[in-house]
Structure 1
Amino acid sequence: MENNQWYALHEVSAIATPTLLVYSQRVQENITKLLAMAGGDTSRLRPHIKTCKSPDAIKAMMQAGLSKFKCATIAEAELLGICGATDVLIAYQPVGANIKRLIQLIKQYPETAYACLVDNFSLAQDLEQVAIKNRLTIKVYIDVNVGMNRTGIAPDYLWELLIGCSSLTHLALIGIHCYDGHIHDHSLDDRRAKCEAYFLPILSITEKYAKDYGQELTIVIGGTPTFPIHIERSEKNIECSPGTFVYWDYGYQNLCAEQPFLTAALVLSRVISLPSKNKICVDLGHKAVAAENELAKRVLFLNAPEAKPVAQSEEHLVLDVGQNHSYQVGDFLYGLPYHICPTVALYEEALEVIDHQARGLWKIPARKRKINI
């Protein structure tokens, strides 16, 4: 086996496809690299678990000293409670029935300190009334729209909401949440310039709040592309929350060349048909790899980089490999997804690979919308 085929399994014929492969040694290396980028200071890290959704990956991070996490769904938050995480930010504003589910989480996992987002005073008041009714205090971060235009309050109205939330007796205002997922320039310098443009006004507001109200607010900031920028900040109240680092993918491998993480999750597929002289078909349809990108940007096959996707349906992916190819039905292809996060969500479990051998299964319970609560 060639040295560059780090991904190849020695005994692969008995494995059903398509399947998700997780290379746990490389996962551990990525966690080590994350800590190194933070100078070993785990207090500045709040990893997002939307990528892994797995207790095995979460426990590996916890064993490395990470105790604070970020998530997006109640199921992800519950998984963190089950794993014994001490500090969890649900980076989502609870609305409707999810408010009740948040209360259930807080009660069922008292050893985990849960917090959620708010971006308007009306919702904050609703949370206050529910907290009073349940004799609880709900921890909140104010979600600020720093340019992604998806959620969050406009910075011009942040001060007013800070004052409003701080007046509520059963809400504990912890900090500010700034997700800058719209910043994904190839140039790190361009990313840095855009980060500074929104960060300095936010920092000024939090400094004024600390001076007037005597509380230093935590700023949970950024995602994967901007992680190298925010982790270098000197302010002690900064927490960074990358998520994709744990498995990495082809999209960020291309975009964030300055980051040292290793691809640690692949999709394994088989050639199932030879429909024409220049085409092969593999069992990697929409249900097996994230399909939100254009067809050419869904998966790269490490052992067939020349293969060009030409059609995909629920169970099939047709590849143009040229007329002189030597592929046969039953051949295995190792695919590196462009976007690993939604790809992981397509699988109930992943096959753990250690030293080219299948060693066990990593369950992915938080792919579901509900675990217990």
Structure 2
Amino acid sequence: MAEWYEINNADTLDTPCLVVYPDRIRENIRLMLERVADDPTRLQPHVKTYKMREVVDMQMTAGIRKFKFATIAEGEMLGQSGAERALLAYQPVGPKITRLLELVNRFLDTHYAALVDNTASASAISEVFAAAGKALTVYLDLDVGMHRTGIEPGAEAVDLFNHCLSLPGVDPVGLHVYDGQFRQQFEERKRASDEAFRAVEELRAKIEGTTGRQLDVVAGGSPTFPVHALRDNVTCSPGTCLLWDWGYARKLEEQPFLYAGLVLTRVISHPGNNRICVDLGHKSVAAENPFPRVHFFNLPDARQLGQSEEHLVLEVDNPANYPVGTLLYGLPLHICPTCALYESAHVVRDGLATEKWGVIARDRVISI
């Protein structure tokens, strides 16, 4: 019996290549909705993982209308799909502010928003948008322990929110929380996330009490998705779960998402000493992590020894079983940056690769 990932016409696909399985993506969308009691208004998934308009459209067919994005190109992709709301999960600076304004002006059916974590950035956004007669919706980006971006949820955050209220061209409506540092076993992860989120709830109550505004809170990524899904009045923003990968599957065992994106590679050489070489280099699979960077379904015991731009050297016990030309099906440790390495993905339906989807937002610019 064939395995779910096997492609009957794989001999027509040049390697390395990216492949996606829409039926499995559709199931992941269903599982994502199930986690929030089938209420699509509680979801604002991130598009950075796949960067394909077709995957956005599949979610919109399921009733999801709000999304997060990380680049202006991803935001343009959302505008092209007619997303109702699109949150730039990034603080725009420099020319990115004017590019965001161009998105707002071009895609009138999509309501764009962005993050801020300091008064200078809020003022810079205000200057550009007010001059254009527009107001950009903003969320305070809160630092709850990751220490990457954001402002701590305390008195300074209250001051920043009030500063935004005073500015023309800026409309503060909510709080953004990313707690991606929590990747422990689920019960410990939940305890850590709950503890960090208490300060967010206190900040929310204080701002709502002093301003009379009801704040929207967008929280979490895939690791804490099941935690934030249990909260009232919180919008969840997972992303990787649309395709899933080996890294999260090993760490987040309570989440039943399906693998829906793979890389294909072929054996290209036998350099000896129980070694084989495949055409899966740094340019073809995310290389920011130590080995192993990919898990091969049909060669799970291979030891990854070395990688360069176009090559990955593996040590195997029986190299004769994998002659030159052998096709391997690989699950990336990290699917998000892997997708960004490919211009397109082969789409596999019923065991056949029949079309391609463009990874259109892999570039920094589509047209804006």
TM-score, normalised via structure 1 length: 0.97
Does the alignment pair 1:168 with 2:164?
A: no
Distance 2:311 2:199 in 1: 49
Aligned to 2:121, the other structure's residue is in SS state helix
Whether contact under 8 Å (1:249, 1:263) holds in the other structure is yes
Whether contact under 8 Å (2:275, 2:319) holds in the other structure is no
Aligned pair partner of 2:260 in 259, 264, 284: 264
Aligned to 2:323, the other structure's residue is in SS state coil
Greater displacement, 311-320 / 9-18 = 9-18
Offset from partner CA, 1:228-255 (integer Å, 9 cap, x none): 000011x22x111000010000001101
Does the alignment pair 1:345 with 2:340?
A: yes
Greater displacement, 329-338 / 211-220 = 211-220
Aligned pair partner of 1:152 in 133, 143, 150: 150
Distance 2:27 2:230 in 1: 21
Aligned pair partner of 2:116 in 111, 115, 118: 118
Does the alignment pair 1:292 with 2:288?
A: yes
Distance 2:190 2:221 in 1: 13
Distance 2:278 2:129 in 1: 52
Q: What residue number does 1:188 align with?
A: 186
Whether contact under 8 Å (1:71, 1:88) holds in the other structure is yes
Distance 2:257 2:186 in 1: 16
Whether contact under 8 Å (2:276, 2:319) holds in the other structure is no
Aligned pair partner of 2:297 in 302, 316, 319: 302
Alignment of 1:60-139 (within 5 A): 60-139=58-137
Whether contact under 8 Å (1:207, 1:216) holds in the other structure is no
TM-score, normalised via structure 2 length: 0.98
Whether contact under 8 Å (2:261, 2:331) holds in the other structure is yes
Q: What residue number does 2:13 align with?
A: 15
Count of residues in correspondence between the two structures: 367
Offset from partner CA, 1:336-366 (integer Å, 9 cap, x none): 0000000000000000001111121111010
Percent identity (aligned): 46
Does the alignment pair 1:278 with 2:274?
A: yes
Distance 2:91 2:193 in 1: 23
Distance 1:226 1:302 in 2: 27
1:295, distance to aligned residue in structure 2 (A): 2.1
1:325, distance to aligned residue in structure 2 (A): 4.2
Code of the aligned partner of 1:211: G
Aligned to 2:174, the other structure's residue is in SS state strand
Distance 1:123 1:111 in 2: 26
- Structure 2 unaligned runs (5+)? none
Q: What residue number does 1:197 align with?
A: 195
Distance 1:303 1:206 in 2: 50
- Structure 1's consecutive aligned runs of 4 or more residues displaced over 3 angstroms after TM superposition are none
Code of the aligned partner of 1:162: F
1:324, distance to aligned residue in structure 2 (A): 5.9
1:277, distance to aligned residue in structure 2 (A): 4.1
Distance 2:194 2:251 in 1: 20
Does the alignment pair 1:245 with 2:241?
A: yes
Offset from partner CA, 1:270-305 (integer Å, 9 cap, x none): 110111040111000000000000022x10000000
- Structure 1 unaligned runs (5+)? none
RMSD, matched Cα = 1.0
Whether contact under 8 Å (2:245, 2:259) holds in the other structure is yes
In structure 2, the CA distance between the partners of 1:324 and 1:104, relative to structure 1 (3 Å rule), is closer
